[in-house]
Amino acid sequence: MNAAVLTIGDELLQGFTIDTNSSWLGTTLLPYNIKISKKVAIGDNLNDIISETQYILNDKFDLLFVTGGLGPTHDDITKEAFRQFLDDELIFDESYYTQLIHHFEKRSIKMPESNRSQAMLLKTADVIPNENGTALGMHILIKDTHTFIMPGVPGEMKSMVKNHILPKYIKKSPVENSITIKTAGIMESHLAEKVNGLMENYSHSYRYAFLPHYSGVSFRINKLNKIDNLQDVKDEFYKAMLPYAYGINNDTLEKVLGLKLIKNNYTIATAESCTGGLIGKRLTDTAGSSEYFLGSVTAYSNQLKSSLLNIPNDIINTLGAVNEEVALKMAKGVRAKTGADIGISTTGISGPEGGTKTKPVGLVYIGVVTPEKSMVKKYNFNYGRHIHREMTTTAALNITRLAIEKN
């Protein structure tokens, strides 16, 4: 099936909001054999919405996903545009209006009068429920194009697609045409060297893409023919990418590490300096992480390094806070303080200030102490403050994963 996406909203055009909805739609719909071949973004302008919808529909797409402009304010005009385009009517839905009032009451908020507009619905449309917000979605078959009108808020749009549009209108089971192998701890070009031979071998029936991020390089394999066995080919690539490969598709490093901790019956705690709490945050992104994550101590000031993690003051006074010994003592300190099996620590210079000739911005030491071993690794991630913290966190999680794996 061939699909188009029409996103509506000035903020997307002016660049104040980055459109992540349409890429989510792209990857989510692909396994259902729905290929997006056109995306159009326009502003909150009635005539533009009407004329672009007309132009897109001329191309006889099977599906059209429209997002945005369903909010309660004056610039939300998507419904009015479709009313005019379809020569339809907007009908006031009394029972949904009552629901809306209850929704606000439950939150002890008086419903603003403007929200009344969210109970106005196109007469010819089927309603698509919204579990995460107040703007209902709509489905209309326009000639042969199933048109879905949804809010632009990502969480609301996604749950409409997953919980309603796919089961009710698409009714197919997803088929996997592509797999992404996730890696950490290796550069794109070095990863490519490891699999050049394999890529060559399978080039007649698979396509590949390297997707480098600061948190690791992903490698996507697309199969071209239905009959080929994607799983087997993935397994070969995966093996060639070990120990850097840690998972596939939506696996995250923190989730994979969490499963390994559970398997080993290990608890974990972090002692953070330059990462400011980000490792703890990433570890607790995973639901159920309370099973292994006990907590963390962010000792940003040197004084807290000593009072909360028992780093002797004279070490910091002599060597400074960014060195191998402090990293090791921080990891050991948080282990002792929390009783966790594994302690992770970071101490580094995220910048932009604070660098010296011997300790430049970007320098970081990561400590990992497990019941079996202690280690400190030194890196220089000099790509700006934010990336420094992201890369340090990823490296810390990955070192810990490898430390347990080798058990």
Q: Of residues 339-358, which lie at the interface with a copy of itself (CB under 8 A)?
A: 339, 351-353
280 sits near a copy of itself (criterion: CB under 8 A): yes
CB 33 within 8 A of CB 121: no
2 sits near a copy of itself (criterion: CB under 8 A): no
Between CA 340 and CA 332 the distance in angstroms is: 10
- Report the nearest approach of a copy of itself to the CB of residue 340 (Å): 9
Q: How many residues bind a copy of itself (CB under 8 A)?
A: 103
47 sits near a copy of itself (criterion: CB under 8 A): no
- Report the nearest approach of a copy of itself to the CB of residue 76 (Å): 9
Identify the burial level of 353 via C-beta atoms within 10 angstroms of its C-beta, where 0-12 means exposed, 13-18 middle and 19 or more buried: exposed
| From 87, 109, 143, 314, residue interacting with a copy of itself (rule: CB under 8 A) | 109
- Report the nearest approach of a copy of itself to the CB of residue 281 (Å): 4
Which tokens sit at 64? Answer: 């059209």
| From 248, 308, 336, 402, residue interacting with a copy of itself (rule: CB under 8 A) | 308
Q: Which of 19, 18, 8 is nearest to 147 (CA)?
A: 8
Comparing CB distances to a copy of itself, the nearer of 125 and 223 is 223
Residues pairing with 36 in the sheet: 3
Which tokens sit at 238? Answer: 């995966």
| From 67, 125, 150, 272, residue interacting with a copy of itself (rule: CB under 8 A) | 272
Which range, of 67-75, 92-100, 230-238, 240-248, touches a copy of itself by CB under 8 A?
67-75
| From 39, 103, 359, 377, residue interacting with a copy of itself (rule: CB under 8 A) | 39
Between CA 220 and CA 349 the distance in angstroms is: 34
The DSSP bridge pattern shows strands 363-369 and 126-128 to be unpaired
Nearest 5°: phi and psi at 338?
-105, -15
According to CB under 8 A, which residues from 238 to 267 bind a copy of itself? none
Q: What is the CA radius of gyration of the chain?
A: 26
180 sits near a copy of itself (criterion: CB under 8 A): yes
